[in-house]
Structure 1
Amino acid sequence: MEIFTDPEGYKRWYEIHNKIYESEKRLVSEFKPKNCLDIGAGPAIFHEIFSGNTISLDISIFMLKEIGEKEDKILADANFLPFRDNSIPCIFISVTICFLNDISLFYKEVERVTKERVVTCFIPRNSTWGEYYYELGLKGHKYYSHANFIKKEDLYNILKKFFEISTIKSTLFFSPDEPEKMDRIEDGDKGSFVCVEAKKRSSAPHSSVLNSLS
């Protein structure tokens, strides 16, 4: 998207809101991202906690240019992943889904490519921060005015078409009008920054974490 032409400004937000960033980074680290394809990687915000081989995929050449030379980078559309079937052990997605037109089509493509699991982190529309960003979007914010924030239940329903949801954890329990702080991590999706791990289906049955959230 043409709006993602300022990687320095994008990274600056995380520097200014470093307590939010640290809270989100700690949550992402709980999922031990290893040998991941990061779809919509931007300037590699969370990659310092990734291990193994990381591939950054983004539609913006400006964002990819900010990523270190030692990391593999691919300029591509998230809906058309240039990989063989079952070729990527882990796929990681942070915030990217709110900038996609067809999330179901996207996850169909992710299911084709991934060999084991996908970890999706997002700000649900029906969360305190989701409501706040939505309102900023209505006022013409550079990024959020282009975002389509999805409700958590809607995302889970899409994921269940292609995967088995195994883990849901969240952080950011304080509201936007409160002082920013390093926040706790909890199982479930009560926070405003939610990470969901979903595993590729096999012939063996899996129990779903969604049953515990009903």
Structure 2
Amino acid sequence: MYLYGASGHGKVIAEIAEELNISITGFIDGNADIESILDYRVIANNADGLEGKAVISIGSNKIRKLIALRDNQFDYVKLISKKANVSKRAIVEEGTVVMMGATVNSDVQIGKHCIINTNASVDHDCMIEDYVHISPNVGLAGNVEVGEGTHIGIGACVIQGIKIGKWCTIGAGSVIIKDIPDYAVVVGNPGKVIKYNEIQKLSQ
């Protein structure tokens, strides 16, 4: 299996693969100065001619989407740490990684190429669309919906039944008690919209 992105995030994903006894062929990265990471070789800059299983090990939601659409010759797989607690009734799609200590409860639906990061909690009946990043220690109560490409920052809390739009940024430690529109940047307790992400850049 290839890991696409030789970074700190990639190190964590590599250790999940090791935990699952999945053989790592190497990392792919655009930085030609990186020759190895965690004793695995790094293939510089280009995935041309490569194929097989892969996970995109990059934290940026937008970049994960660009790579997934561009380099579709790979068989993108999901990785769920043995130290995560994932309900047998949850659905986790391809390319998604569920990290150590995370909890995903009954009837949760998680889309493609998402990150459910360390110790995050996703409660029953939540729906998380593609390319979302749920950061460490985030708490989503039941029936929360999170739109494509949204990043929920470390330690944020979302009460039950909330709908968060696509390509939003929810600041670290924010407390979300009202629905959030597409592209909004939200901070604070309670969370307030302070600006909007640039739509044209996110749609590329």
Please give the range of the TM-score, normalised by the shorter of the 2 chains: 0.3 to 0.5
TM-score (normalised: structure 2): 0.35
The structure that is strand-richer by fraction is 2
The structure that is helix-richer by fraction is 1
